[in-house]
Structure 1
Amino acid sequence: MDFGLSNEQQMIIDSVKSFVEKELYPHEDEVEKSNKIKDSVVEKIKQKAIESGIYACNMPEIHGGGGLDTLTLCLLEKELGKANFGLQYIVARPSNILLACKGSQVDNYLLPTIRGEKVDCLAMTEPNAGSDVRSMKCKAERDGEDFVINGSKHFISHADMADFVILFAASGVEQTSRGEKKKITSFLVDMGTPGFSVEPGYNSVSHRGYHNFILNFDNCRVHESQVLGDVDHGFDVANEWLGATRLSVAAMCLGRAERALQIATEWAATREQFGQRIGKFQGVSFKLADMSMELQAAELLTLKAAWKDTQGEMTNSDAAMAKLKATETLAMISDEAIQILGGMGLMDELPLERIWRDHRVERIWDGTSEIQRHIISRSLLRPFE
């Protein structure tokens, strides 16, 4: 693995860093206080991102995307991750599940999403089907050329901004050596489809300006042409997405951890107590040392997984280790940074309290820390089965 950055990668990092500081940071205070992002701000950021060439940078060039490899994408995600989550999300990196589009789906969903004309959201989680996705109760039953969908989804992020939803629903049951297992099918469902409604979700302590919603399906009829991938093989299109999204979460956590460490370091280097700068006290300096070490360890795990993915060699365990380490490192660094700043760290004049609040969800969504540990341990034990 080459630890050096190419000139192109360094240029991308510098460009995205400048974009974040100029286009995202100035809106953070307003979003944190109002829990909203004005439509005018959304449109301005989107257009700036498109002009800068970083919009849909994760999608293939052949379709009009940026065509970044996984390693370079992670470097970009790290810089974007430093900003308020709702703001950085506007710089869309569409779900790579959409690469399963075929026929008219390409023109109706994939290409408009890459161009910024449409926004997608993904609906998998249910009230009683979180980590155990196979236990989902939202079902799709075939009726001629249509599927009739009934059930609900919750914790569906940014459904207020989406034009369509990538929906996963149970479409049948198959017998396996371990008993019955639900078959899952993925659908592309437009907002406004009869029988499909969106309700406000829950008030979250994390990610102000980036909201979750409840999706309800009541005899919602969807034509078979809206199936994404093949019937009963929804997990086939989801598996590609899971590894990518876990690396994305890891990379963004690295960015926030780096920002928190920088704030804490500058504070320790300038704040004086008892006649000297607090960075001179071992209780503070050792914290900084541990924070820096853990951040670099998390970054190495993440970049290693990303590099392996560019070689076509990344395993589920690689992605799980990256997400697990990066999310737990962010938790540690954000907490220690506030400890170094003391009471000031909890005030909203600085972004630390926001980083501290936001970090909590990272150990839950896109696979809990416990699920990541299960994936890692399973890969270790499988050869002995």
Structure 2
Amino acid sequence: MHFALTDEQRMIIDTTRAFVEAEIYPHELAVERAGHLPLELIREIQSKAMAAGLYAANMPAEVGGAGLDTLSWLLYERELGRANYALHWTCVARPSNILLAGTPEQRARYLMPCIRGETWDCLAMTEPGAGSDLRGMKASARQEGSDWVLNGTKHFISHADLAGFTIAFMATGEEDTPRGPKKKITAFFVDKGTKGFTVRDGYRNVSHRGYTNAVLEFDECRVPAENVLGEPHKGFEVANTWLGATRLQVAATCLGRADRALQLAIAYAAERHQFGQAIGKFQGVSFKLADMAMELKAAELLTWEAAWKFDQATVTEADMSMAKLKATEVLAMIADEAIQIHGGMGLMDELPLERIWRDARVERIWEGTSEIQRHIISRELLRAQGG
């Protein structure tokens, strides 16, 4: 494997990092303290991101994106991940790849406005009683003539307050399998403002302040057949085909925050003096820094290898789960140790460390908990032995 970055990849890193430092960092503290991301600020940064060629950069070139290979895309995500999540995710939006699964008409109606920055998308899968077990969802849709009628509740739906539409996954039947009955699932585009579709405020979250979640309610919500994404009863297959790489996206953004925390810890250990010398000279601190750097390097290598394999069409579910699991747990460790090195100052909001520490907690939960990732990894190991 060739480990050197190309000139283009270095340019992506430098351009994205410069943008993050100049246009996003200055607004972090205000957003953290207010817990709110003003629309006028979103539009200001969004406009600058478009001018810099960073908006919707995850999309293929033929639809107006940057056409990046997977590794280059994740290098870009790592640099964005250094910043407050609400700011980089909303203002430098990356539309969900699942929109590429749409028909030409659906792409024109839903994908292209997201790429142009006119609206945002949101995915509605999780329910109060169905998180990791999507087959356990209770929200359902029934067919009536050429329409579908949706009923049920989704929650923890990210930035649904801003989104112009949602892609809602609903149970639409049941089939018998050797392991018992299994629900069929269908994905639907549902426009905000559709009768019977209500977006309610979600929960106050300790992680990612300014990045909202919502509760979506469907009450006899009627949508036409052309709003089905993919084929009826094949929503699970659509999700598996298009959303697998989101685990790598989470891993990459975690790497960016972990590196920011590590660099702050290194700088502080070099400049802070106690007992007549820099605290980095004490083994209690220097060994922490060594472990932090080593674990970050391991997480990076797992993530970059999975990205490379993704483009070779050889990546496995375990590869992506290992990257997500390692990166999220390394971020938690580095954030905690960076605060320990800073002492009391690490918990003050004058520094980004307490935010990084809080934000790290959700990463081991969303896009599949650490326990789910370990299940995926071990399942693949056992299957190779017929288990």
Structure 2 letter corresponding to 1:282: Q
1:152 has 2:153 as partner: yes
- What runs of 5+ residues in structure 2 fail to find an aligned partner? none
The DSSP-based 3-state class of the residue aligned with 1:186 is strand
Contact 1:138–1:152, Cα closer than 8 Å, also in 2: yes
1:333 has 2:334 as partner: yes
Partner of 2:62 in structure 1? 62
Partner of 1:363 in structure 2? 364
Contact 1:158–1:211, Cα closer than 8 Å, also in 2: yes
Partner of 2:23 in structure 1? 23
Partner of 1:184 in structure 2? 185
Instruction: Measure, in 1, the Cα distance between the counterparts of 2:93 and 2:264.
Output: 27
Aligned ranges for residues 128-139 of structure 1 at < 5 Å?
A: 128-139=129-140
CA offsets 1:87-139 (integer angstroms, 9 cap, x no match): 01021111110011104212101111122122100100000000101000000
- Cα RMSD over matched residues? 0.7
1:82 has 2:68 as partner: no
Partner of 1:244 in structure 2? 245
Instruction: Measure, in 1, the Cα distance between the counterparts of 2:345 and 2:111.
Output: 46
Instruction: Measure, in 2, the Cα distance between the counterparts of 1:106 and 1:261.
Output: 41
Partner of 1:312 in structure 2? 313
Contact 2:155–2:213, Cα closer than 8 Å, also in 1: yes
Partner of 1:35 in structure 2? 35
The DSSP-based 3-state class of the residue aligned with 1:384 is coil
The DSSP-based 3-state class of the residue aligned with 2:150 is strand
Instruction: Measure, in 2, the Cα distance between the counterparts of 1:167 and 1:372.
Output: 24
Partner of 1:281 in structure 2? 282
Partner of 2:13 in structure 1? 13
Instruction: Measure, in 2, the Cα distance between the counterparts of 1:54 and 1:171.
Output: 38
Partner of 2:162 in structure 1? 161
The DSSP-based 3-state class of the residue aligned with 2:384 is helix
Instruction: Measure, in 2, the Cα distance between the counterparts of 1:146 and 1:175.
Output: 25
Q: CA deviation at 1:356?
A: 0.1
Contact 1:37–1:209, Cα closer than 8 Å, also in 2: yes
Q: CA deviation at 1:241?
A: 3.3
Instruction: Measure, in 1, the Cα distance between the counterparts of 2:302 and 2:206.
Output: 28
Structure 1 letter corresponding to 2:52: S
Q: CA deviation at 1:242?
A: 3.1
Contact 1:59–1:96, Cα closer than 8 Å, also in 2: yes
The DSSP-based 3-state class of the residue aligned with 1:220 is strand
Partner of 1:375 in structure 2? 376
Equivalences, count: 385
Instruction: Measure, in 2, the Cα distance between the counterparts of 1:74 and 1:241.
Output: 16
Contact 1:129–1:136, Cα closer than 8 Å, also in 2: yes
Structure 1 letter corresponding to 2:301: L
Aligned ranges for residues 195-234 of structure 1 at < 5 Å?
A: 195-234=196-235
Instruction: Measure, in 1, the Cα distance between the counterparts of 2:344 and 2:272.
Output: 13
The DSSP-based 3-state class of the residue aligned with 2:143 is strand
Instruction: Measure, in 2, the Cα distance between the counterparts of 1:240 and 1:269.
Output: 47
Instruction: Measure, in 2, the Cα distance between the counterparts of 1:41 and 1:199.
Output: 23
Q: Which moved more, 1:331-340 or 1:236-245?
A: 236-245
Contact 2:98–2:243, Cα closer than 8 Å, also in 1: no
Contact 1:96–1:240, Cα closer than 8 Å, also in 2: no
For normalisation by structure 1, the TM-score amounts to 0.99
Aligned ranges for residues 86-105 of structure 1 at < 5 Å?
A: 86-89=86-89, 90-105=91-106
Structure 2 letter corresponding to 1:55: Y
Partner of 2:266 in structure 1? 265
Q: Which moved more, 1:304-313 or 1:79-88?
A: 304-313
Partner of 1:114 in structure 2? 115
Instruction: Measure, in 2, the Cα distance between the counterparts of 1:372 and 1:110.
Output: 30
The DSSP-based 3-state class of the residue aligned with 2:68 is coil
Q: What is the percent sequence identity of the aligned residues?
A: 65
Contact 1:94–1:114, Cα closer than 8 Å, also in 2: yes
Partner of 1:298 in structure 2? 299
1:44 has 2:36 as partner: no
Q: CA deviation at 1:309?
A: 0.7
The DSSP-based 3-state class of the residue aligned with 2:210 is coil
Structure 2 letter corresponding to 1:117: E
Q: CA deviation at 1:59?
A: 0.9
Instruction: Measure, in 1, the Cα distance between the counterparts of 2:228 and 2:375.
Output: 31
Contact 1:242–1:366, Cα closer than 8 Å, also in 2: no
Contact 2:97–2:243, Cα closer than 8 Å, also in 1: no
Stretches (4+) displaced over 6 A: none
Q: CA deviation at 1:243?
A: 2.0
The DSSP-based 3-state class of the residue aligned with 2:193 is coil
Contact 2:346–2:353, Cα closer than 8 Å, also in 1: yes
For normalisation by structure 2, the TM-score amounts to 0.98
CA offsets 1:119-173 (integer angstroms, 9 cap, x no match): 1001000000001010000001000001000000000000111000011000100
Structure 2 letter corresponding to 1:361: V
Q: CA deviation at 1:38?
A: 1.1
Aligned ranges for residues 337-352 of structure 1 at < 5 Å?
A: 337-352=338-353
